[in-house]
């Protein structure tokens, strides 16, 4: 059924104007003043609201097996919560079994994601190197719509890769026109500090940030940037949480390198005092990597977003319940790493970014949606408001308020790291492929309504020379 969005202000990453918008067959069919509602169309009143591209979260882990547990939000509950917060697409991570096949990981994640309520894609992790891995990367890039590969420089003994693997994989991805994503923490240093702390008797959650100080991220960010520079490859650093990594990215960009940086909503507003909490459950609920930082790092992250040196925002949504976090009751290294946030990213960014004057509304759209679509080559189908684009929209109430709470959120987890935060700026309605999936506080997410979005290689923003050569 067609859907007419009437009387709103269209807000994109470039401009703002009053117009109606007609959705039909899942796409944006028309944009203009005073559009007629076709027979049988549903009409939604967007008076006083901003009509923006739906959010894209480029970093989630739904039902991910990790540290002996499986993250608590599955592809349905997690994407339904996303829709309640104005996010209409995610890019999750398909992670092979140790030494296993990348194609099998893609198959397994595709199977799990069939129940997704919003659109999705996958970064595929490279966790070891062999000729078979190289071949599978090629198949994924050319036949399965994967244009990004993930590398963990941390999690020694599990997902971590060394510089030899990084060099091979970054070089191979470059030849395929794919982008390497990197979790930048020096995993050897983390393992060393973990051992030392445990030997000193530091077993509680406080050991987590102590074992992953800012230098650990700064060093790894500098190293992967140097490797990318050696190979003339673009690189995307996930969950940047420190001044040091932000500076390394800015300096590389100033030298002309194609380096992109992602920030998590959580790192922008929560600091490391959470680990001082006497209650294990509270402190453990904040155990994620990289950890929360002393407050001054937040200023660097906001400045990075405002200046364009950091381009995207995400959540690294990886929900674990108190029962799961208890695995690390006597040893902080066993607490499953991860926090939730997919439902609240947009409101947190609006409240703390736009309302404070750090970001313009256009920049908000850029960092929550459009930049991700450009980097991962799904623009203008996603992240834009243009005729022919997917009708993935959020009707945003810039003055609407809500109090974030585990009691009201839709995420399948018993803790919310933003608990009690009063935010101004909320999703009144979320339109997923032309259908109201969240409207007036009612979640109408549909199991399986989400579709896989294949992503073509040689994203022009990552590979400008190739793009120019092809034009």
Ligand X SMILES: NC(=O)NCCC(=O)O
Which residues of this protein are in contact with ligand X, per CB under 6 A? 61, 183, 288-289, 316, 318, 337-338
Supply the minimum distance, in Å, between the C-beta of residue 217 and ligand X. 12
- The binder of 392, among ligand X, Zn ion, none, by C-beta within 5 to 8 A per type, is none
User: Out of Zn ion, ligand X, none, which partner does residue 244 contact, by CB within 5 to 8 A per kind?
Assistant: none
Least Å from the CB of residue 183 to Zn ion? 3
Peptide bond into 233 cis (omega under 30): no
DSSP readout, 233-264? --EEE-S--SHHHHHHHHHHHHTT--EEEEEE
Residue 374 contacts which entry, Zn ion, ligand X, none (Cβ below 5-8 A, type-dependent): none
Output the CA–CA distances (angstroms, integers) from residue 287 to 62, 90, 174, 386, 411, in the order listed: 17, 23, 34, 40, 18
120, 218, 276, 333 from 196: Cα distances, Å: 41, 21, 20, 12
- Give least dist CB 426 to Zn ion, A: 26
By CB under 5 A, residue 183 contacts Zn ion = yes
Q: Which is nearer to Zn ion, 183 or 410 (CB)?
A: 183
Q: Which is nearer to ligand X, 51 or 268 (CB)?
A: 268
Q: How many CB atoms lie within 10 A of CB 25?
A: 10
Strands 148-152 and 119-125: parallel
- Out of Zn ion, ligand X, none, what residue 351 binds, judged by CB under 5 to 8 A for its kind, is none
C-beta closer to ligand X: residue 318 or 366: 318
Q: Are 300 and 247 in contact (CB under 8 A)?
A: yes
Q: Report which secondary-structure segment, H or E, holds 9.
A: strand 3-11
What is d(CA 86, CA 451) in angstroms, rounded to the nearest whole number?
Answer: 17
Contact by Cβ (8 Å): 347, 87: no
Closest separation between CB of residue 227 and ligand X, Å?
Answer: 19
316 touching Zn ion, by CB under 5 A? yes
Look at strands 422-432 and 435-439 and give their pairing: antiparallel
Name the minimum Å distance from CB 413 to ligand X. 13
Nearer CB in complex with ligand X: 177/291: 291
Closer residue to ligand X, CB minimum distance, 328 or 338 = 338
* CB closer to ligand X out of 145 and 338: 338
Looking at the DSSP assignment, which residues form a beta bridge with residue 8? 19
Q: Which does 288 bind (CB under 5 to 8 A by kind): ligand X, Zn ion, none?
A: ligand X
The site that binds Zn ion (CB under 5 A) totals a number of residues, namely 2
Q: Alpha carbon of 304 to those of 8, 55, 295, 367: distances in Å?
A: 31, 20, 15, 11
Q: How far is the CB of 178 from ligand X (least distance, A)?
A: 19
Smallest distance from the beta carbon of 59 to Zn ion, in angstroms? Answer: 5
Contact residues toward Zn ion (CB under 5 A) are 183, 316
């Amino acid at each position: 059924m067609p859907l007419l969005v009437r009387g709103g202000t269209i807000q994109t990453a470039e401009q703002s104007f009053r117009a109606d918008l007609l959705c039909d067959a899942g796409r944006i069919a028309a944009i203009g003043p005073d559009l007629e509602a076709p027979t049988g169309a549903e009409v939604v009143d967007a008076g006083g609201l901003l009509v923006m591209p739906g959010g894209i979260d480029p970093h989630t882990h739904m039902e991910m097996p990790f540290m002996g547990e499986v993250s608590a939000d599955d592809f349905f509950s997690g994407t339904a919560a996303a829709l309640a917060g104005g996010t209409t697409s995610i890019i999750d991570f398909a992670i092979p079994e140790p030494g296993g096949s990348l194609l099998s990981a893609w198959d397994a994640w595709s199977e799990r994601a069939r129940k997704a309520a919003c659109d999705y894609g996958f970064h595929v992790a490279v966790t070891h190197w062999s000729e078979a891995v190289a071949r599978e990367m090629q198949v994924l890039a050319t036949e399965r719509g994967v244009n990004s590969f993930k590398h963990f420089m941390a999690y020694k003994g599990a997902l971590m890769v060394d510089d030899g693997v990084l060099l091979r994989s970054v070089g191979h991805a470059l030849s395929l026109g794919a982008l390497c994503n990197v979790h930048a923490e020096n995993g050897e240093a983390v393992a060393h500090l973990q051992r030392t702390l445990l030997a000193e008797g530091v077993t509680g959650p406080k050991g987590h940030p102590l074992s992953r100080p800012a230098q650990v991220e700064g060093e790894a960010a500098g190293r992967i940037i140097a490797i990318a520079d050696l190979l003339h490859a673009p690189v995307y650093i996930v969950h940047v949480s420190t001044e040091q990594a932000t500076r390394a990215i800015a300096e590389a960009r100033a030298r002309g390198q194609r380096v992109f940086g992602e920030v998590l909503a959580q790192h922008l507003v929560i600091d490391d005092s959470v680990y001082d909490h006497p209650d294990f459950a509270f402190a453990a609920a904040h155990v994620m990597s990289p950890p929360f930082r002393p407050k001054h790092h937040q200023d660097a992250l906001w400045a990075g977003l405002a200046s364009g040196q950091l381009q995207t925002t995400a959540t690294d949504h990886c929900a674990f319940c108190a029962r799961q976090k208890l695995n690390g009751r006597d040893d902080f290294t066993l607490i499953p790493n991860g926090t939730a946030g997919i439902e609240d990213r947009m409101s947190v960014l609006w409240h703390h970014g736009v309302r404070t004057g750090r970001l313009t509304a256009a920049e908000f759209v850029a960092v929550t949606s459009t930049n991700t679509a450009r980097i991962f080559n799904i623009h203008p189908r996603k992240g834009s408001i243009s005729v022919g684009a997917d009708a993935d929209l959020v009707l945003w109430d810039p003055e609407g308020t809500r109090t974030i709470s585990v009691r009201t959120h839709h995420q399948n987890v018993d803790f919310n790291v933003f608990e009690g935060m009063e935010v101004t700026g909320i999703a009144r309605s979320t339109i997923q492929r032309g259908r109201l999936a969240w409207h007036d506080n009612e979640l109408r997410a549909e199991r399986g309504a989400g579709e896989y979005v294949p992503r073509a290689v040689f994203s022009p923003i990552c590979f400008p020379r190739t793009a120019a050569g092809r034009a």
